[in-house]
C-alpha cells in the first residue's frame, strides 16, 4: 500500500453504528481530510488506497479504514459523528470521497467470500476488485439504482410522508429500480404503487450518489394533471399537493430531493 502523504484524505468509519471519525468536534467537511500516517491508527483498522481524487491544487490519494465498533479507541483528538448527518451537510462538490469510501468499505466487508464456491476472496491492489483464488470469480463494487420523482400539477408539487421519516417531514416518491425495468418504468410503477397516480412527461433532472448504504439516486420530474393521491398505508402514510405558501418540513440541504424542490420553487 502506498504511504499516506501530507494532504491525502484519510477517513475512518464504524459501519456497525453508522459513524464516521474526524479530528474536531464540529463536522466541517475539510476537518475530515486527515493528513498523517496509517501507523497512528489503532488496530483492527484496515486502511487501503481507493485511488485518486482531484483538487484545484493537485491530485490527492484517498485512504479509508473501518473499525468494528466505536468502542475501539481512536487516535488522540479524533471524534465520532453520524455519517448520515455529516454527508447531508457536505457541499455536493465535496461529497465524492465520503460516498466512495463508505461504499467501497461496505463492498469489501460483504464480499470476503466467493458466492460461487465459498472460498475466501483476495483484494486486488491494481483495481477495485476482489478475486477468488480458487475458481477465478471477480467481484466488483456495485450499487443499487433508485429513482426519485418530483411530481407537479401547475404551481403545486406532490410531497409524501414516508413511514421512516421524522414527524412532519415530507419528500418525493422514490424507490429502487427492479430488475428488467427502465428508469421511466420504475418511476411510473413507484408512483402508482405508493400514491395511485398516473404521471406523464417524465424527464431526467440529475443524479446523486447516496451511500445509505450504496444507492445511486436518479432524479426525475413528472406531471400529474388530475387525480388525488391515495397513500398505500405501508410505505406512505400521507401525501398532499403543496403550494409555495404552505410547504411542510422539507428534506435537508445537500440532498437531491431538496435541490429538486428548490429548483421548482425558483422557477415559479
Q: What are the backbone dihedrals phi and psi of residue 130, each rounded to the nearest 5 degrees, phi first? A: -115, 135
- The least confident of 42-51, 81-90, 112-121, 243-252 is 42-51
Kindly report the pTM of this predicted structure: 0.79
Q: Which of the residue ranges 14-23, 143-152, 221-230 would you say has the lowest mean pLDDT?
A: 14-23
Higher pLDDT, 172 or 9: 172
**Would you say residue 2 lies in a domain?**
no
Degrees, nearest 5: CA angle 18-19-21: 160
**Same domain, residue pair 151 and 126:** no
Mean pLDDT of 114-128: 88
Question: Does residue 92 carry a pLDDT above 80?
Answer: no
Domain presence at residue 4: no
Determine the pLDDT at residue 168.
95
For residues 161 and 256, membership in a common domain is answered with: yes
Q: What is the model's pLDDT at position 88?
A: 79
Which is higher by pLDDT, 106 or 198? 198
Residue 45 has pLDDT above 60, yes or no: no
Residue 170 pLDDT class (50, 70, 90 cuts): very high
134 domain residue, yes or no: yes
Predicted local distance difference test score (pLDDT) of residue 144: 93
Task: Assess whether 72 and 98 both reside in one domain.
Answer: yes
pLDDT at 109: 82
Tell me, what CATH number does 217's domain have? 3.90.79.10
Residue 41 clears pLDDT 80, i.e. is over it? no
Q: Please tell me whether residues 76 and 33 are part of one structural domain.
A: yes
The pLDDT assigned to 167 comes to 94
* Range with the poorest average pLDDT among 48-52, 78-82, 253-257: 48-52
Please tell me the total count of domains within the chain: 3
Half-sphere exposure of 218 (CA within 13 A, CB side): 17
What's the confidence (pLDDT) of residue 33?
43
Q: Is residue 68 domain-resident? A: yes
Range of the domain at 136: 112-141
With a CB cutoff of 8 Å and minimum separation 6, the contacts of 202 are 149, 184, 187, 188, 220, 221, 222
Which letter does DSSP use for residue 184 in this model?
H
| Residue in 36, 132, 138 with CA at minimum distance from that of residue 77 | 36
- 222 lies in a domain? yes
Tell whether 3 is covered by a domain.
no
Tell which wins on pLDDT, 88 or 10. 88
* Mean pLDDT, range 13-39, rounded to an integer: 53
Residue 86: pLDDT over 50: yes
Amino acid at each position: 500500500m502506498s504511504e499516506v502523504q501530507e494532504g491525502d484524505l484519510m477517513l475512518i468509519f464504524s459501519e456497525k453504528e453508522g459513524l464516521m471519525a474526524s479530528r474536531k468536534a464540529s463536522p466541517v467537511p475539510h476537518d475530515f481530510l486527515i493528513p498523517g500516517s496509517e501507523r497512528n491508527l489503532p488496530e483492527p483498522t484496515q486502511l487501503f488506497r481507493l485511488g485518486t481524487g482531484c483538487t484545484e491544487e493537485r491530485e490527492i490519494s484517498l485512504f479509508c479504514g473501518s473499525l468494528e465498533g466505536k468502542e475501539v479507541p481512536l487516535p488522540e483528538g479524533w471524534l465520532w459523528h453520524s455519517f448520515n448527518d455529516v454527508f447531508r451537510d457536505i457541499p455536493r462538490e465535496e461529497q465524492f470521497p465520503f460516498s466512495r469510501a463508505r461504499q467501497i468499505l461496505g463492498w469489501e466487508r460483504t464480499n470476503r467470500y466467493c458466492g460461487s464456491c465459498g472460498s475466501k476472496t483476495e483484494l486486488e491492489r491494481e483495481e477495485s476488485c476482489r478475486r477468488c483464488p480458487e475458481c477465478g470469480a471477480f467481484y466488483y463494487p456495485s450499487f443499487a439504482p433508485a429513482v426519485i420523482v418530483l411530481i407537479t400539477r401547475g404551481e403545486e408539487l406532490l410531497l409524501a410522508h414516508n413511514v421512516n421519516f421524522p414527524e412532519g417531514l415530507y419528500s418525493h416518491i422514490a424507490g429502487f429500480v427492479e430488475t428488467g425495468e427502465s428508469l421511466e418504468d420504475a418511476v411510473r410503477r413507484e408512483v402508482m404503487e405508493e400514491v395511485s397516480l398516473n404521471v406523464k412527461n417524465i424527464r431526467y433532472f440529475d443524479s446523486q450518489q447516496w451511500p445509505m448504504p450504496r444507492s445511486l439516486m436518479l432524479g426525475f420530474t413528472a406531471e400529474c394533471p388530475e387525480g388525488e393521491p391515495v397513500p398505500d398505508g405501508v410505505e406512505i402514510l400521507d401525501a398532499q399537493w403543496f403550494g409555495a405558501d404552505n410547504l411542510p418540513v422539507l428534506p435537508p440541504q445537500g440532498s437531491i430531493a431538496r435541490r429538486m424542490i428548490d429548483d421548482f420553487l425558483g422557477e415559479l
